[in-house]
Structure 1
Amino acid sequence: MATLFNRSFVSVIIVQIASLFGDAVLRFALPLYVLNVTGSAALMGAVSAAAWLPYLLLTPIGGVAADRVNKRRIMASLDVLLALTCTAFLALDGTVDLIGMSICALIILYAVQSVYQPTVQAAVPFTVPRESVVRATAIVSQISALSGLVGPVIGGLVFGLFGIEPVVMVAGAAFALSAALIVAFVRIPFQRVEREQGIVRTVLGDLAESLAFLRHERPVILKTIFLVAGINVTVSAFIIIGTPVTVTQILGLPNQFMGFAEGALALGGLAGGVAVGALGNRLSLRKAPVFLLVAALSLVPVAVVLGVPMDAMAAYGMLLASLFASMACATMFSIQAISFIQMETPAHLVGKVIALAMSLANCAQPVGQLVYGGLFDALRGNLVPVAIGTMLVAFAIAGLTYRVLKRGLPEEEPAAAEASAEGRVPMVAEIPRERLL
């Protein structure tokens, strides 16, 4: 463990705490602000979907940049951009429609993360030894979950008591702190990769090479990515849209309670990361789809809350338990899947492959949010079929995932065997709370 917690790894982790905290605060508060002002789940879903579009389009490009550009400069520049965005939001307060500004701020936030996250994920592998891949992945996931736990709780309290402006101020300060820490402490080894073509051809060529690797050399990874996309468009979208609507409108609870609900999701992610870190190589990717089954089963309490009249606080407690269990299981599956990708990806494709995987896994996320936003508005009085239908679809996807992994994985998985294929290095990735991959 001594080699895992070296200076380079720890410095990257520390700056991530600050940056992810600011990210978690804004991702929580801005859509909830739109819901509070308009009362429309469909509009909230549309805003969230619009914010996803630049993320999906730019993430593959971010992966190319992560492999070819100085990672430290990318991280610092993007944190500065987010701090300036928060400053502009506050400066324009009272002169521009805040809903429009919220949409713009979310679009910038997601666009920045499309480049920032592949950069961090491509940087961390060069700071940890190969044998520490799974534990390092779990640690980074725990940091992400911890930021997601503290951010929405604090954001919910501040937003509920003082409004949106102080929330933006807190997030801006976090981004500025992260940028300062990167400049002062982070040192990431960088070896320039020379371009032989123009920028556009280089990007397209790199992406084509990454896609060819997934299609021809590791088709099991590509199939699993598309199945995870199915989970994201159902379970993830259901939780993202349904949780704030259920807490603030159906149960009639204050915004602070939505912050604690987000905290339950983050705490579940933290627990899942701790479990994977403790179990290590004793876990098997072949059996990982069981966690997807349990995550789907966790929607049963949500259906009860939506369909059975009960005390608001009792219903809220059931909802928190459901969110916790669902996120814990999703995180355990995600860490194992990403660790497998890390071990199987050639060094020069690390950033590009993980970015392409993230983009493909989340390509249908905007569609899911639009659909569930409309469903929660149209079927407000009878949402039980929505919850049950989502659970059944997730069951089917988990079963297909088990079949794909059983057929496509070797008898002895590389992570468990600690294989050391020539020219391959691990890649550590984090699991944002909204996604399974």
Structure 2
Amino acid sequence: MRNVEKKNTVRLILRGQTNNFGNTIYDYANKLVITGLGSQASYFMGIYQMSETIVGIIFDILGGITADQKNRKQILVFTDLVAALATFIVFLQYSKKNVWLLVITNIILAILYSFNSPTYKAIVKDLLSKQNIYKYNSYSKTISEIISVCSPLVGMVIVSFFGFKYGMLINSLSFLISAILEWQFKVIVPLTTQKKTAKESKLQSLKSGLAYIYGNKELLVVLIASSLINFFLAGYNFSVPFTNHMARFSHMYAYVLVAESVGNIAGALFNSFWNKDLRIAQYSHFLFGVGVTTLVVPLLQLYWPLILVFFGLSSACLTIFNIQMMSGIQAEVADDFIGRVFGVIFTIAVLFMPVGTYVFSLLNIKNWLVFSVIGIGEVLVYIFMFGAIKLVQTK
């Protein structure tokens, strides 16, 4: 790995995990405040969460287009500086009398995230070679999972000892540190392709981006499969909190979350040590692992330690699939279309997750059988993805 790529890798990881740490504490503190609003808690929690979904649907595609048309480094620095300012204002001005400030700030951050996130995914291609993209995503995912376990605990300590507002201050500082790290990125790939895309209008750019995705049949299959998986993952995330009731064990849900975190870390570590970039038909097999390990959970309901093992295996398979998919897109998609591709991915995720949650809330299956339904769905997605890829490759 060239020295400049080593520095870029370190800065990318530090930036991503600094942001992740600050956002986790921010979200924890916000939800803690909202749940303490008594009769208004449900109302404000609904607005707080729905605002993110609505903003994502409206702005994610636009964020992807902008990432292809403008200087990606400048977009990242600007959005993180504005986010730092917005959260610092909350730190200075918040009181229980102006709880709307939380909602407004969350909307502002969601808009900024719609531009920042696809840009951050796209700029990896400008900073790292293909081989190092796979390494970076493995390292980043491993550290991210470790931080995701520690952040809520740190957030709890900070809010308990120093108060809610200092959670906002930490998030503000995390955005500022992210902007400083982004400013030090050293681009190794010329940005000439962005100048060509910048000449297009937003509508023309969207049309050409969609045409690129439609023309790249393998990429199209991956996007369809990932959207379908998001549907079933939403059902999974909806059902997992009810495992306490299913197991008649008050701490089962907590143990499941720990098992998932361990599985995510193990999957990321395995991918980094394995150090292989797989073709789509190869990494699609990990979806089969996700589905089968979820499918058999109801058969193990009398042996909850085994259930935890299978939840962990499912998370490990999903992590490897996600790392390979994300790395493949970053490495293979043309530089002048990569922002729009990620914009489409995030939009699809935003659209299908609420739909999946709604469908599984209507099914209202509050026993272990729900995981068989989810697992069967995931296996069917695997069959579709593997079959469609083989069909595309034979043409």
Residue 318 of structure 1, CA deviation: 8.9
- What is the count of residue pairs matched by the alignment? 385
Contact in 2 for aligned 1:55/1:110 (Cα 8 Å): yes
State the distance in 2 between where 1:221 and 1:36 align: 45
Structure 2 partner of 1:214: 213
Q: Relative to structure 1, is the Cα distance of residues 345 and 182 closer, same or farther in structure 2, using a 3 angstrom cutoff?
A: closer
C-alpha RMSD of the superposition:
4.1
1:57-68 matches, within 5 Å, as: 57-68=58-69
The reply on whether 1:340 has 2:328 as its aligned counterpart is yes
Q: Relative to structure 1, is the Cα distance of residues 206 and 45 closer, same or farther in structure 2, using a 3 angstrom cutoff?
A: same
SS in 2 for 1:84: helix
Contact in 2 for aligned 1:298/1:325 (Cα 8 Å): no
1:9-408 matches, within 5 Å, as: 9-31=9-31, 33-35=33-35, 37=37, 44=45, 47-94=48-95, 96-98=97-99, 100-159=100-159, 164-183=164-183, 185-188=184-187, 191=191, 193-194=194-195, 202-218=201-217, 220-236=218-234, 238-239=236-237, 243=241, 265-281=260-276, 284-294=282-292, 296-297=294-295, 300=298, 324-369=312-357, 384-385=366-367, 388-389=369-370, 391-408=372-389
Contact in 1 for aligned 2:284/2:385 (Cα 8 Å): no
Residue 368 of structure 1, CA deviation: 3.9
State the distance in 1 between where 2:392 and 2:275 align: 18
State the distance in 2 between where 1:241 and 1:106 align: 26
Percent identity, please: 18
> Normalized against structure 2, the TM-score is what?
0.79
- Structure 2's unaligned 5+ residue stretches are none
Alignment-mate amino acid for residue 387 of structure 2: K
- Describe the superposition over 1:91-129 as per-residue Cα deviations: whole angstroms up to 9, x where unpaired: 33225443x344333333332222212112211122222
Q: Relative to structure 1, is the Cα distance of residues 229 and 407 closer, same or farther in structure 2, using a 3 angstrom cutoff?
A: closer
Q: Relative to structure 1, is the Cα distance of residues 105 and 41 closer, same or farther in structure 2, using a 3 angstrom cutoff?
A: same
SS in 1 for 2:186: coil
State the distance in 1 between where 2:327 and 2:234 align: 21
State the distance in 2 between where 1:34 and 1:320 align: 32
SS in 1 for 2:351: coil
State the distance in 2 between where 1:401 and 1:179 align: 39
- Describe the superposition over 1:160-188 as per-residue Cα deviations: whole angstroms up to 9, x where unpaired: 566533322222221122223333x3333
State the distance in 2 between where 1:156 and 1:319 align: 29
Q: Relative to structure 1, is the Cα distance of residues 323 and 112 closer, same or farther in structure 2, using a 3 angstrom cutoff?
A: farther
Contact in 2 for aligned 1:118/1:355 (Cα 8 Å): yes
> Normalized against structure 1, the TM-score is what?
0.72
Alignment-mate amino acid for residue 212 of structure 2: F
- Structure 1's unaligned 5+ residue stretches are 309-313, 414-437
Contact in 1 for aligned 2:287/2:378 (Cα 8 Å): no
State the distance in 2 between where 1:53 and 1:143 align: 30
Q: Which moved more, 1:153-162 or 1:107-116?
A: 153-162
- Describe the superposition over 1:292-350 as per-residue Cα deviations: whole angstroms up to 9, x where unpaired: 2156348659x96xxx9xxxxx99x9997676444333211111222333344222212
Alignment-mate amino acid for residue 236 of structure 1: A
